[in-house]
Amino acid sequence: MIEISHVDKWYSSAFQVLKDCTTSVAKGEVVVVCGPSGSGKSTLIKCVNALEPFQKGDITVDGTKVNDPKTNLPKLRARVGMVFQHFELFPHLKIIDNLCLAQEKVLGRGHDKSVTKAMMLLDRVGLKEHAQKFPAQLSGGQQQRVAIARALAMDPIAMLFDEPTSALDPEMISEVLDVMVDLAREGMTMMVVTHEMGFARKVANRVIFMDRGEIVEDAPKDDFFGKPRSDRAQKFLSKILSH
Amino acid sequence: MNYNWNWGIFFQPNPMGTGTYLDLLLSGLALTLETAVLAWIIALVTGSIVGVMRTLPSKGAYWFGFAYVEFFRNMPLLVQLFLWFFVLPEILPRAAGLWLKQLPNAPFWTASIGVGLFMSARVAVQLQAGIGSLPRGQKQAATALGLTTVQGYRYVLLPMAFRIILPPLTSEFLNTIKNTAVAITIGLLELTGQARSMQEFSFQVFEAFTAATILYLLVNAVVVTGMRILERYVAIPGYITGK
Amino acid sequence: MLGNFDFDVIRRSLPYLFYEGMTFTLTLTALSALGGLIFGTAIALMRLSGYKTLGRIAGLYVDFMRSLPLVLVIFWFYFLVPYIGQWLTGASRPISVGAFASSLITFIMFEAAYFSEIMRAGIQSISRGQPAAANALGLTYAQTMRYVVLPQAFRNMLPVLLTQTIVLFQDTSLVYVLSIPDFLGAASKVAQRDGRLVEMYLFAAFVYFTISCVASFGVRRLQSRIAIIR
């Protein structure tokens, strides 16, 4: 589904953020990407739907080459859902309109159909009664659930999560993770940047560990938690699992 | 465009008998600068006093400052100049009014004072904001050291506040220069006024206005450069001012 | 002295002052603000487009306009617009466009420079995640601007835009230099005709002051309301 091969990215000639990154996510697979901050994991996931440009290598999503200038990026992005660290709901639009905007403007869906779809998804994330509110009136956890629903409204073939819980207060993390776990169990193809190792243990097929722009480890979940091969991954795991 | 360009016009004698048309424009430029500098001194002095008053704990001082700023901000500059020029001499006691009317260079003095007071309200607002942006602890620290209110302002608050508002003050100074052009309405033959009279005498509209435009741009460039140097000169190491 | 202050001259000229003068002033203000906002937003988008040349041209335009006194710009357009009209229509002589059209073009072009700076600040104040989220949903650049970025920038900047419009309202009095009967021009005409400068100019000052004061009070209330919502 997602093929990343030999991707290099520089911010300036002196600073390389991604070094020869190669990996893939198969259909129905859940891949968790972790690593210390500044390791390039968020940058990598943003390259998948071309929010960040990269200089070398190729990324294909469902057979479409992301870095081909001829690719219709809006069309591609409409098929890949993304959830951001800071939710990025549109603060000037009601919850329901946040869910309908892209359905109507990008997919060309009728208003009634969009609303029906939106309400169905809001119900699914448990926020149906908040449809007429504005984003700022919701808690962080609720906003992130809305953001997931907004991405799902586009009927995506895959979902990208960029640290979806790291801006949340601790008591709100589980409500978001629950939605994500359900999604994974339904067979959604997911690429998730997160430090939530509990989530990884529960539903991930593979875990990727990144450090300083490189993919250091790319292993099935059980191998990764059982016996990570690299020092850096071991150190990282001991730091975040020690509490 | 069927317009007869004649760039040589600048070197032909002007009908006032004061040299060439270029001399005419340059005398206008000189008057623009004289008026602007005098107006700016008035604006800085009164504006600083009023700006400080707006930050004092005294209710009376605050309300005076508030009324002052509102008075000068809510009337067009042109109307203010008319008030000073046409109305003030009539409503003063007869002797004083007569003295005002017979004042030589009345347009110059009216323009300087009128533009100066108009701009002083803006300076006051900037300074109030500058003082307001300082940490509260600064004023308390000054008081705790035993400085009087006057000393606190003189040695602690104002030196910092003026540095902070230097960039906006630069644009207010540029506005002062531009605003002197309004005095064309009370017969001040500053740069715009001289360009206009050149146009009326010679019918070379666009040459006259082009020359005036270039002169204004030059003045702008000189002022901006000068203020940059001043900013660098007064900058405090390790402290990022303005912007 | 104010002893022989003649209220009657004001009363008699009220219909002329307001039906003719103030209507001109307010129409000019409203249309210039609208045109300036549209044109200014376009300039701001050019500056932020990422195309170097386009951005530089827009930047030069803004710097140029902001370096010149409005009075000079009014003269420029007053004399230039007929020639531009001739050039556009291919007429054989410069075409006269009338006082209102000439002032309107002047103020739209002039204010666009100022409005563009406000809109630019408004667009830049929006976190980069917002356009990223819109792109991730598949919205095109135009759709992202139209539905996500510009509505927020406009809303955040509304108080500043309105304050600038109050400044514009006061600045329209400068069409006086073209002897156009806007509100001040009308007052001035009566003042000269009847020899009642004191009354007419004081009254004009009072009217400008009252309108600007009420308007800026309204803006301040709006500002505090927006501040609470955020």
Assign residue C152 the CATH number of its domain: 1.10.3720.10
The alpha carbon of residue A183 is apart from the nearest alpha carbon of chain C, in Å, by 18
Q: Do C136 and A51 touch (CB under 8 A)?
A: yes
Interface contacts B/C by beta carbons within 8 Å = 107
Could you tell me whether strands A15-25 and A2-12 are parallel, antiparallel, or unpaired per DSSP bridges?
A: antiparallel
Q: Any chain C CB within 8 A of the CB of B210?
A: no
Residue A225: pLDDT over 90: no
Smallest CA-to-CA distance from A24 within A161, A178, A202, A215 is with A215
Structure confidence at residue B243 (pLDDT): 36
Between CA C152 and CA C173 the distance in angstroms is 32
Asked if residue C230 has pLDDT above 90, the reply is no
Residue A9, SS3?
A: strand
Residues B186-198: b if buried by 16+ CB within 10 A, e if exposed:
bebbbbbbbbbbb
Its ipTM equals 0.90
Beta strands in A73-165 (DSSP E): 80-83, 158-162
Residues 132-161 of C with CB under 8 A from B: none
Extents of the domains making up chain B: 17-234
Q: At what angle do helices B205-234 and B166-179 cross, to 10 degrees?
A: 160
Q: A176-213: buried (b, 16+ CB within 10 Å) or exposed (e) per residue?
A: bbebbbebbeeebbbbbbbbbbebbeebbbbbbbbbeb
Token output for C153:
């920038």
Burial of A164 (0-12, 13-18, 19+ CB in 10 A): buried
| Residue whose token pair is 């700023």 | B69
Nearest by Cα to C91 from B2, A61, A154: B2
Reference C76, options B20, B192, B176, B215; nearest CA is B192
Physical contact, A and B (3 or more Cβ pairs within 8 A): no
Question: Whose CA is closest to B139, among B126, B150, B127?
Answer: B150
User: Average pLDDT of B76-83?
Assistant: 96
Give the CATH number of domain A2-241; options: 3.40.50.1220, 3.40.50.300, 3.40.50.620, 3.40.50.2300: 3.40.50.300
Q: How many domains, in total, are found in chain C? A: 1
CA distance A185 to A202: 10
**Torsion angle of the four alpha carbons C162, C163, C169, C170, in this order, in degrees rounded to the nearest 10:** 180
Chain C residues near residue B209 by CB distance under 8 angstroms: 72, 75-76, 79
**pLDDT computed for residue B238 by the predictor:** 66
Domain limits at C109? 2-226
CB proximity A90 to C under 8 Å: yes
Give the pLDDT confidence of C81-92 residue by residue, as tens digits.
888 888 888 888
Q: How far is C129 from chain A (nearest CA, A)?
A: 6
CATH topology of domain B17-234: MetI-like fold (1.10.3720)
At B242 the pLDDT is 39
Give the C-alpha separation, B20 to B13, whole Å: 4
pLDDT of C227 > 70? The answer is: no
pLDDT digits (tens, 9 = 90+) for B114-130: 999 999 999 999 999 99
Amino acid C95: pLDDT: 83
Which residues lie below 8 Å from residue C67, measured CB to CB, with a gap of 6+?
Answer: B174, B178, B216, B217, B220
Q: Give yes or no for a contact between C182 and C176, defined as CB atoms under 8 angstroms apart.
A: yes
Q: How many CA within 13 A on the CB side of residue C100?
A: 12
- CB neighbours of residue C3 within 10 Å: 5
Q: Is pLDDT at B145 greater than 90 in this prediction? A: no
Does the model's pTM come out above 0.95?
no
CA distances from C164 to A153, C112, C116, C119, C155 (A): 41, 11, 11, 12, 15
Q: Which of B2, B94, B192 sits opposite C71 (nearest CB)?
A: B192
- Residue C3, pLDDT score: 62
CA distance, residue A25 to nearest chain C CA (Å): 19
Tell me the nearest-neighbour CA distance from B202 into chain C, angstroms: 14
State the chains in contact with B (3 or more Cβ–Cβ pairs under 8 Å): C
Which residues fall within 8 angstroms of residue B212, CB to CB, at 6 or more apart?
Answer: B25, B28, B191, B192, B194, B195, C72
> Does position B241 have pLDDT exceeding 70, yes or no?
no
Confidence of residue B73 (pLDDT cuts 50, 70, 90): very high
Quick one: which of A97, A87, A101 has its CA closest to A176?
A87
Give me the percent of chain C exceeding a pLDDT of 70: 97
Residues facing residue A162 across a β-bridge: A193
